[in-house]
Structure 1
Amino acid sequence: MIACQIPGTRSANAFSFKQMQTIPMLPPIFFHCFRHPLPYASTLALQEQLHNIQLSHRRLSAHKDILLLLQHRPVYTSGRRQTDPSLQDEKTRLTAIGADFVPATRGGQLTYHGPGQIVGYPLMDLGRYTPIMGAREYVCRMQKMLERHLDEAHGIKHCPSEHTGVFLDAKTKLASIGVQVRHRLTSHGFALNVTREPLAWFDKVIACGLDDVKAGSIETAKGAAVGIEKEMAGLAEWFGRTYEREMMELDVKEEEEIGKAILALEKEAQALGNWNSTPS
């Protein structure tokens, strides 16, 4: 369970959204919204590439903090805690219904990603904060960001839970969190179900090890359609407010290394064409 009462010099302001301001000395976070659902393995490779760029530039304080907002093509992923040999049987079963299956390096257990679900991958240097932001506070802020966005944008109140993530009620989960922190640099992040499309895929597994919990979405909670692009813009805004940073759209044409890598993945995703919208 995450207890979001964090001691330290920032705690008085970190979760006071009414008067949230940016920390003046910190650089902005640059965000990019992908237009096409991305293959998971290639997106993992992109995160690793950007992580290495950040590491190589950090000594000169020239590295950028980045938030990638995207959808994936249908894929089931397992967390680094899962080493059960039966996962091979699960992989066979789940790929047969039309999804990919990829082991991941994030925390957490088996879950689903696909169109209709917004995934956010922050690649941030927690060492930029004073004092250095710990992983616990980082995850806690992420959860608060999702809760506040759902409340402000959609009037959806979350249900407190002992589990990480955002719940509509005790048995309905709207958002998941699974992160990795290496050398104070973050990767992986959060996933928020927006449309109804992901729900049938979630029904094929016990997601996140919670056998009594089903996936919900913003659309099912509201009973109305929700646009992905508008939702991404709202999440970027709340991300900046929560982490007390200015948000700026990344100019991929001006960023030689980073921009080239992002555009290559955009091109790959577009070339893949259609995906299975429902399990076979």
Structure 2
Amino acid sequence: MKSCYVTELRESISYKEGIELQKKAFDIVNAGKIDGILLLLQHKPVITIGKGGGKENLLVSKEKLDELGVEIYETTRGGNITYHGPGQLVSYPILNLNKFNKDAHLYLRQLEEVIIRTLREYDINAGRKIKYTGVWVDDLKIAAIGVALRRWITKHGFSFNISVNKDHFALINPCGITSFGICSLEDFVTEVDYNEVIYNIKTKFQEVFHTELIDKARPDDW
């Protein structure tokens, strides 16, 4: 069976720190030490712009973002503009797809499937929209996905809204979409247990990717 390290960070980190951790994970996976590394974390408030663009979907000035304590970062992932912040689970799977399925389209669907199966644990019927990558509850987006590939090793991943600050999402047209809104797990569940969400994500990730997750408390343990 394939195996991946999994590391959960409990303190919110900057987006730049997340990029640096992904680089470290990429180098380890690329060297063949492990089939993949799954990072689970939360970011400090940041708006990121992907390779698909999105500056036109930023609805406020840089000065307003500074006032609110929200960073802005241009990144290498696919997709348009999005927001990350506390109350949102960000998952960075750094996987060697040569060891899994060498199919970028399938990989996106698998990431969606992890979220969809997790939401079933809360009796939430989530699904996909044909035109848009991500996971939806009716017409509300609960998880965004943006990835990059290098040497068939994945970078970036998904963001799953648990109890996110929706006022910050109002600073942008998320993913460039104006016809639909966003939602969080807390909109459907009375009491959200973050540890339970992490457990469910890890369990469904193992199921979908047919891999064993090996807990590593810190990136220094990789």
TM-score (norm 1): 0.73
SS at match of 2:83: strand
Q: Indicate which of 172, 177, 191 corresponds to 1:210.
A: 177
Aligned to 1:247: 213
Residue 175 of structure 1 corresponds to which residue in structure 2?
143
**What's the CA shift string for 1:178-215, capped at 9, x where partnerless?**
011110111100111011x3212112211000012221
Equivalent residue in structure 1 for 2:13, among 38, 41, 44: 38
SS of residue paired to 1:225: coil
* Cα gap change, 1:220 to 1:251, in 2 (>3 Å): closer
Which residue matches 1:233?
A: 199
Corresponding position of 1:118:
89
The structure-2 alpha-carbon separation of the partners of 1:159 and 1:245, relative to structure 1 and needing over 3 Å to count, comes to closer
Residues 56-89 of structure 1, C-alpha deviation per residue, up to 9 Å, x if partnerless? Answer: x23xxx23511000111111110012175896x7
Contact 2:36 2:94 in 1 (8 A): yes
Match of 1:149 among 105, 113, 118: 118
Asked whether the equivalents of residues 29 and 240 of structure 1 are also in contact (C-alpha less than 8 Å), the reply is: no
Tell me how far apart the structure 2 counterparts of residues 90 and 146 of structure 1 sit (CA, whole Å).
33
- Secondary structure at the counterpart of residue 37 of structure 2: strand
Which of 186, 192, 199 is matched with 1:219 structurally? Answer: 186
SS of the equivalent of 2:168 reads: helix
**Structure having the higher Rg:** 1
Greater helix share, 1 or 2? 1
Contact 1:219 1:226 (8 Å CA) reproduced: yes
Within a 5 Å distance, the mapping from 1:254-269 to structure 2 comes to: 258-259=219-220
Q: Determine which of 98, 116, 119 is the counterpart of 2:69.
A: 98
Paired residue for 1:133, among 74, 89, 102? 102
Contact 1:95 1:101 survives alignment (8 Å): no
More strand by share: 2
Residues 93/133 of structure 1: CA separation in 2 closer, same or farther (3 Å cut) = same
TM-score (norm 2): 0.91
CA distance in 2, matches of 1:248, 1:241: 14
Q: Given that residues 112 and 201 in structure 1 are in contact (C-alpha distance below 8 angstroms), is that contact kept between their aligned partners in structure 2? A: yes
SS of residue in 2 equivalent to 1:31 = strand
The offset of 1:42, in angstroms, is: 1.2
Distance 1:85 1:164, change over 3 A: closer
Percentage of pairs with the same residue: 29
8 Å contact kept, 2:5–2:34: no
More displaced stretch, 224-233 vs 34-43: 224-233
**Structure 2: gaps spanning 5 or more residues:** none
Deviation at 1:159, TM superposition (A): 4.4
CA distance in 1, matches of 2:12, 2:197: 15
Q: What letter is aligned with 1:235?
A: I
Distance 1:38 1:229 in 2: 18
CA apart distance, 1:156: 0.5
The residue number in structure 2 matching 1:70 is 41
Unaligned runs of 5+ in 1: 1-23, 253-257, 263-280
Q: Distance in 2 between matches of 1:68 and 1:74?
A: 18
TM-superposed CA distance for 1:104, in Å, is 1.1
Amino acid at match of 2:155: S
Which of 134, 138, 153 is the matching residue for 1:165?
134
